[in-house]
Structure 1
């Protein structure tokens, strides 16, 4: 298993329930493709570096997980269309 991190920025203009649902959907996708979530770090509402879809703020979440090397491609395909997610980045973490 390889260690990965999924950084997700969720729309700040949606309700708390919808925001939680978007993050839960991302977690479910990770588990659906054989990943085991090790840590979820919520950074809260932060200012974006640049405007995205006329928004200046978003909620930042960092989900660390272990998965096989084939899982990230499948996860990225589906995170791209999750409602409420305005940006995401999935990276492989260093072993050190």
Structure 2
């Protein structure tokens, strides 16, 4: 298994329970084929540039271990999610 990290920005207009549901959904996608590691919720932060006319976002970072096929599926599902404004998946083992 390879070590990965996903950072995503959730729409700040969502209610707190919707933000938690989005985080749990991402963890569920990862847990189906991999192992969820440390989850670090950064909370509301100012964006470097406006995204969808919003200047703030709710940041979350999740470390996980998975086979090389999981990041592609996770990327696809995060792209179509209305709650996630941006995301980035990093291979931590790659040099």
TM over 0.5, shorter chain: yes
Contact 2:2 2:93 in 1 (8 A): no
- 1:1-96 aligned at under 5 Å gives the runs 1-32=1-32, 34-94=33-93
Give the aligned length. Answer: 95
Stretches of structure 1 that go unaligned for 5 or more consecutive residues are: none
TM-score (norm 2): 0.93
Stretches of structure 2 that go unaligned for 5 or more consecutive residues are: none
Contact 1:25 1:82 in 2 (8 A): no
Q: CA RMSD in A?
A: 1.4
Q: Which runs of 4+ in 1 moved over 2 A?
A: none
TM-score (norm 1): 0.92
Contact 2:5 2:64 in 1 (8 A): yes
